[in-house]
Copies of this chain bind each other. A is one copy, B any other.
Amino acid sequence: MDKEMGGAEPAQFFEVFFGLRDGLSNERESLKRYLSDVKEIFVDGSEAEQRLQKENPLIYEYYDLKVPENEGDLAFGTSITYPGKIGKEYFMTKGHFHRILDTAEVYYCTRGRGYVMMENPEKEWDCRELVFGKVVYVPRRFAHRSINVGDEPLVTFFCFRADAGHDYETIEAHGFLKVIMEKDGKPKIIDNPNWK
């Protein structure tokens, strides 16, 4: 092309590349969550502690591209949740509400197999499968968490209103209503025994 392609300028012209297979960008730094960062999210705290004696696995990573937080802008990126379990519980993200609760989010799965667990402040919940090619719509008001039940990375492309914000504290305080555990070699949704 005979025209200069300028540098990235968030919320103005702006582009980024993600590997379609691994979901990773070689231009941006991901945010990495190791077991030591998120051990409290797993039901079996002693299993998490025992694992940490031996190793500190990377549970998930994702991108925050710092799009200005305007209602007319969009935040997006990839999220990669790695395969594995703590006891019988699959690796997963912390999960969060949006601070502007009335904003939705879209997850487009480009690799792997897992679920999006969702719940709203009225304690309604749902759980939808992610497989490559599948888009799951997270409705307004629903907290959401990705859970990898497969044996390869669960890679999703996400998009939400750039001003939506993240409320991690509410979920940290009481946990999700439901968790997914392996039973007889298959994922099963059960009540969260640690729910407060």
Query: Interface residues, chain A, CB within 8 Å of chain B?
Result: 1-3, 5-6, 10-20, 67, 70-74, 76, 100, 102-106, 108, 110, 115, 118, 126-129, 131-137, 139-140, 157, 159-162, 187-189
Contacts and interface: CB of A to CB of B under 8 A. Distances in A.
A15 B74 contact: no
B11 A137 contact: yes
Given A104-B11, A127-B3, A20 B110 contact: yes
Given A139-B13, A189-B2, A133 B74 contact: no
Contact of A157 (B104, B108, B140, B162): B108
Number of copies of this protein chain within its complex: 2
Contacts of A132: 20
A99 to B, nearest CB: 12
B189 A1 contact: yes
A6 to B, nearest CB: 8
Contacts of A15: 128-129, 134-137
B129 A5 contact: yes
B133 A18 contact: yes
A113 to B, nearest CB: 12
A188 B132 CA distance: 35
A108 B107 CA distance: 12
Given A1-B129, A19-B133, 6 more contacts: A14-B137, A15-B137, A72-B104, A74-B159, A76-B159, A157-B157
Contacts of A136: 14-15
Nearest to A189: B3
A97 to B, nearest CB: 13
6 contacts: A1-B115, A15-B128, A17-B134, A74-B159, A74-B161, A157-B157
A68 to B, nearest CB: 10
Contacts of A73: 104, 140
A100 B103 CA distance: 17
